[in-house]
Amino acid sequence: MTEARPGLSRRRMLGFSGASLVVGAAAGAGLDRVAFADEDKGGAGRAVPFLGPHQAGIATPVQDRLHFAAFDVTTGDRERLVRMLKEWTQAAAAMTAGRPVGDGAVGGVAVAPPDDTGEALGLPPSRLTLTIGFGPSLFEKDGEDRFGIKARRPPALVDLPHFPGDALEPARSGGDIAVQACADDPQVAVHAIRNLARIGFGVVAVRWSQLGFGKTSSTTPGAQTPRNLFGFKDGTENIAETDDELLGRHVWAGKGDGSDWMAGGSYMVARRIRMHIETWDRTSLREQEDIFGRDKGEGAPVGARKERDAPVLAKMKPDAHVRLAHPDSNGGARILRRGYSFTDGSDGLGRLEAGLFFIAFQRDPRTGFIRVQSSLATDALNEYIQHVGSGVFACPPGVQKGGFWGDTLFA
């Protein structure tokens, strides 16, 4: 075992021995090598660069699988929290490059737990991205400024209001820190969250998590819009990864937005939406299409022939989902969607526990998600869905050479 990665050593795993983690020029160079080494250019198996001005996993082409986890911080020690974030950063850089954490899963000291859990051994990076966000409770919880950052809470990081029809479960809402792991291989995504949770033992604990499959939106121009579990294409006009103008206007936070440390970052809203599958499946095709404002086969808006034909909102019913969610109905408000379908067995009453894990990124939730969701209060689709989990998080800018997740906040 080497001491080159003290934050990821077995000694730390055996009790948070207090070995300090130094992230300086040398460590930054290591991150550079980890992020870009062994990059496979051959399709879904390739690595997505970890370093950059923005975090990967926001405008990045959407992968097929998701493992989302929200954590509660269980310590009041700022130094331990920062040390963990540095350790997480090194682990994230390694895993996104398809490399093991620390000294790996095998070949180490036999009497100590390995640094890596090992279930991703032999698997390619699978375009793994890891995106971190900080919830409102990290800045202040029960009136306490645990980490001396209360004054640095961004004005845009507001608590989401209660929307009509919400039935939020506290056990599936909130959290101090969120990590979104996306990959084209579910085992790679699960491996990433598992290792971060293991590294964070004693500092954080998983509050809630969600597995997702079958992306329901795309950020790739011209790509076919995926379908949700209702069988419809939704989010055809999602912001594209190549549209720098729209990304700059609607997704990336700016220095003039009230919190300089968030410049280049974004705000994530995560909503666990239960779909009443059985009720929907007994609804006529015509009514289904009226509810969405699109035909089910092609995905064309009402009165049009192709999915990407410009929608004529006046031709849709007043409570059609597309009409109410469209930027023209919301003062131009736009969000970048990265949703996934989920199925979690049955609910004990013979109904499928299934739905949409909705994720949206925006420059400001007040003018993004909150504006759009308020407009959807009269959405005909509400009869068939219910929001049961929720979280809002400030996602800092990307990691630069020599930096770590959240360094602009904790500097």
What is the distance between the alpha carbons of residues 228 and 381, in angstroms, rounded to a whole number? Answer: 13
Q: How far is CA 134 from CA 21, 139, 179, 194, 265, in A?
A: 22, 8, 9, 19, 11
What is the distance between the alpha carbons of residues 28 and 132, in angstroms, rounded to a whole number? Answer: 19
Q: What confidence category does residue 82 fall into, taking pLDDT thresholds of 50, 70 and 90?
A: very high
Q: What confidence category does residue 32 fall into, taking pLDDT thresholds of 50, 70 and 90?
A: very low
Give the residue from 59, 191, 210 showing the smallest Cα distance to 126: 191
Q: Retrieve residue 159's tokens.
A: 């608590």
Q: What confidence category does residue 23 fall into, taking pLDDT thresholds of 50, 70 and 90?
A: very low
Contact 114, 104 (CB under 8 A): yes
Q: What confidence category does residue 255 fall into, taking pLDDT thresholds of 50, 70 and 90?
A: very high
Whole-number pLDDT of residue 44: 61
SS3 129: strand
Whole-number pLDDT of residue 19: 36
CA dihedral 273, 274, 277, 279 (to 10 degrees): -110
- Chain segment 339-377, per-residue pLDDT in tens: 999 999 998 888 999 999 999 999 999 999 999 999 999
Residues 6+ apart with CB under 8 A from 332: none
What is the distance between the alpha carbons of residues 181 and 137, in angstroms, rounded to a whole number? Answer: 21
- Chain segment 317-331, per-residue pLDDT in tens: 999 999 999 999 999
Whole-number pLDDT of residue 43: 61
- Chain segment 177-230, per-residue pLDDT in tens: 999 999 999 999 999 999 999 999 999 999 999 999 999 999 988 788 999 999
Whole-number pLDDT of residue 10: 40
Weakest mean pLDDT among 23-32, 42-51, 151-160, 243-252: 23-32
Whole-number pLDDT of residue 223: 83
What is the distance between the alpha carbons of residues 1 and 10, in angstroms, rounded to a whole number? Answer: 8
What does the pLDDT average to over 102-116?
93
What does the pLDDT average to over 70-90?
98
Whole-number pLDDT of residue 222: 78
**Residue % of the chain over a pLDDT of 90:** 85
Residue 198: its H or E element: helix 186-199
CB burial of residue 309 (10 Å; 0-12, 13-18, 19+): middle
What's phi and psi for 333, nearest 5 deg?
-60, 135
Q: What confidence category does residue 34 fall into, taking pLDDT thresholds of 50, 70 and 90?
A: very low
Helix 25-36 with 78-96: angle, nearest 10 deg: 30
- Chain segment 37-78, per-residue pLDDT in tens: 333 334 668 999 999 999 999 999 999 999 999 999 999 999
What does the pLDDT average to over 111-136?
97
**Residue % of the chain over a pLDDT of 70:** 89
Is pLDDT at 1 greater than 60 in this prediction? no
Contact 262, 153 (CB under 8 A): no
Higher pLDDT, 376 or 22: 376
Mean pLDDT of the chain: 90
CA 84 to chain centre: 20
Q: What confidence category does residue 108 fall into, taking pLDDT thresholds of 50, 70 and 90?
A: confident
Helix 78-96 with 186-199: angle, nearest 10 deg: 150
- Chain segment 161-175, per-residue pLDDT in tens: 999 999 999 999 999
